[in-house]
Structure 1
Amino acid sequence: MMKLRTLIFTSVMLPWILSSAANEYTEARKPEEDTVDFPDYGITYDTDTNSVAGPKAEELPTCLLCVCLSGSVYCEEVSPEMSAVPALPKETAYLYARFNKITKISNGDFADMATLKRIDLTGNLIAEIEDGAFSKLPNLEELTLAENKLTRLPILPVKLVSLNANFNKLTTQGVKANAFKKLTKLEYLYLGNNEMTAVPNLPESLHVVHLHNNKIASITDETFCKGNTSYYIRSNMDEVRLDGNPVILSNHPNSFICLHTLPLGWYN
């Protein structure tokens, strides 16, 4: 009888004892959970819906948001929408930030960027540029501000070779008469499709000037030439556009006597 009880006890209790021991051994050997730190790119999570909320453009590193390649930064049609100029690498020479939602250019946007040679901001919503935004860029040669909402131009860097501000809302009050006086290297000036009523003073260095589709109603013998002398030839000027303005060129027969060619386009 004792042998039978011993056999029953062993067959019931022994598996339970072994199972408990195995669990304790497993718990004792369980490693601590490893934690991995991922870079914080400004991504947040909505705890209510458990969905990802994307970062804003200005919260992302520039070369993650844009393409940076050998001194050139390409920030074109950026998603998420870019509403301000991003912080640029110090070696940036060429910036292409076209077709975004940039609304303003501030003095600090290009501070200490002595390497910049070209800036293209075509197709944004820029309505304001602070006066010092470009003036301290010693090597800037090309500036494109076309297709924005500008009513005035800022102070421009003296080494500028090309300025394109077509398709804005520039007025004569916003483009001062002497705005280009100190730009002795300026060769290409595009101010078409604006709201200007007068032609500003044009530097001798100009090869091309486009002023078409403005509101210019009159010009003088000194707008392009020097009315007090018939010997003056404007040798650099190759192309002038004044079409789409209310000015009647036939009323100003001596206004272009110093040029190699007459203005391009159709006129009244």
Structure 2
Amino acid sequence: MGTRLIMFISAVVLASWVLSASGAHYRAHHKQREVALTEEINARAWRNKRATDDDNALLLADSPEDSSPLPPVGDALDLPTCLLCVCLTGSVYCEEVDPDMTSVPALPKETNYLYARYNKIRKITAKDFGDIVTLKRIDFTGNLISEIEDGAFAKLTMLEELTLAENALVKLPMLPGKLTSFNANHNKLKTKGVKANTFKKLNKLVSLYLAHNELEAVPMIPENVRTLHLQNNNITTVSQDTFCKSNDTYYIRAKINEIRLDGNPIILAQYPNSFTCLPSLPIGRYQ
């Protein structure tokens, strides 16, 4: 009887100890959760206060008493172009404009560089550039230009680079005299659409690109040209005066270093006297 009593008392003591330990563990865990919750509430309150302070600061900054007038954006006529395009100091970028750009945009005064590539411009008029005489580079690659009015570039006395590649031109206008690079690749140009003196007076022209057109003959090339691309046209013949001078057997055309005539019907080997003044033979078909 005594043994049973001792065992009963031991069991009661053990159960009490287990319950006590479990309660302590629960209280400790509950305390940790309370502390973590309190910290989260404090953090949220601090963030809300900071946001409120920032909002108040913005409201104060926007108030009429503390605000100063914004700097002028420019003339009202400049705004539409600079909303459609990207206008940086001296440069205007109008590339793949949405909604479609079908004409040359009005440019801010003193624009130096215009990039109006991959739009749907169909025509360049004599009024498009107006008094923007500061232009040095124009790029109309990838438009639908089929017509350029006479005098469209007449006032652009500082223009050095003009790109009209990937359009639908059948003839060229008169070009500014200071051009150093002209690119009309991938158009529909024929020889009758290029006047004999179109390039004659361009004494600073270095690079001339007329590839992928419908030219039947090589146009008159200025002396300073170094790179001439005429590949993939319909050129069938060249003369002794095309590149050299038939009346001057000592003449050397030393500046030109690349002539491409590949992709034309002409067999260059049939015209050996046409290349005697050149430092290297044109690239093309010889047999």
Deviations 1:121-161 (A, max 9, x none): 00000000001111220100000000000000011000111
Matched, 1:125 2:144: yes
Alignment match of 2:264 (pick from 222, 245, 248): 245
- Write the distance in 2 (CA, Å) between the matches of 1:183 and 1:146: 19
Q: Is the CA contact 1:149–1:169 (under 8 Å) kept in the aligned structure 2? A: yes
CA drift of 1:60 comes to 6.9
User: Which residue of the other structure, out of 97, 105, 109, is the alignment partner of 1:86?
Assistant: 105
Structure 2 spans left out of the alignment, 5+ residues: 1-76
Unaligned 5+ segments in structure 1 are 1-57
**In 1, Cα distance between the equivalents of 2:155 and 2:231?**
30
Separation of aligned partners in 2, 1:164 and 1:122:
9
2 CA distance for matches of 1:251 and 1:264?
Answer: 14
Residue 63 of structure 1: aligned partner: 82
Query: Partners of 1:222 and 1:165 in 2: how far apart?
Result: 24
Q: How many pairs are equivalent? A: 211
The Cα RMSD (Å) is 1.5
Aligned to 1:165: 184
Q: Which residue of structure 2 aligns with residue 204 of structure 1?
A: 223
Look up the match of 1:216.
Answer: 235
Give the Cα–Cα distance (whole angstroms) in 1 for the partners of residues 273 and 215 of structure 2. Answer: 22
Q: Which amino acid aligns with 2:80?
A: P
| Local SS of the residue matching 2:235 | coil
CA apart distance, 1:70: 1.1
Query: Paired residue for 1:187?
Result: 206
SS across alignment from 1:250: helix
CA contact (8 A) 1:243 1:267 kept: no
Give the residue type in structure 1 aligned to 2:216: T
Judge conservation of contact 2:78–2:107 (CA < 8 Å) in 1: no
Kindly name which structure, 1 or 2, has the bigger radius of gyration based on alpha carbons. 2
Q: Which AA in structure 1 matches 2:102? A: S
Q: Is the 8 A contact 1:73 1:92 kept in 2?
A: yes
CA contact (8 A) 1:83 1:101 kept: yes
Match of 2:197 among 171, 175, 178: 178
TM-score (norm 2): 0.72
Q: Match for residue 225 of structure 1? A: 244
- Equivalent residue in structure 2 for 1:99, among 118, 124, 141: 118
Q: In structure 1, how many angstroms separate the alpha carbons of the residues matched to 2:196 and 2:281?
A: 23
Match of 2:93 in 1: 74
Aligned-pair CA distance for 1:229: 2.1
Q: Quick one: distance in 1 between partners of 2:201 and 2:78?
A: 39
Q: How far has the Cα of 1:63 moved from its partner? A: 0.5
Is the CA contact 2:123–2:146 (under 8 Å) kept in the aligned structure 1? yes
Q: Kindly provide the amino acid, as one letter, of the partner of residue 66 in structure 1.
A: C
Query: Hey, which of these two has a bigger chunk of helix by percent?
Result: 2
Distance in 1 (CA, whole Å) between partners of 2:79 and 2:233 is: 40
Aligned counterpart, 1:254 = 273
SS at structure 1 position matched to 2:114: strand
Distance in 2 (CA, whole Å) between partners of 1:267 and 1:104 is 40
Write out the 4+ residue segments of structure 1 that deviate beyond 3 Å after TM superposition. Answer: 265-268
Aligned counterpart, 1:112: 131
Greater CA deviation, 169-178 or 98-107?
Answer: 169-178
Answer yes or no: is 1:149 the counterpart of 2:187: no
Alignment of 1:11-90 (within 5 A): 61-90=80-109
Provide the C-alpha distance between the structure 1 equivalents of 2:200 and 2:162, rounded to a whole number of angstroms. 17
Offset of 1:264 from its aligned partner? 2.1
DSSP-derived class of the 1:222 partner: helix
Contact 2:91/2:112 (CA < 8 Å) preserved in 1? yes
Q: What is the TM-score normalised by the length of structure 1?
A: 0.77
Percent of pairs with identical residues = 66
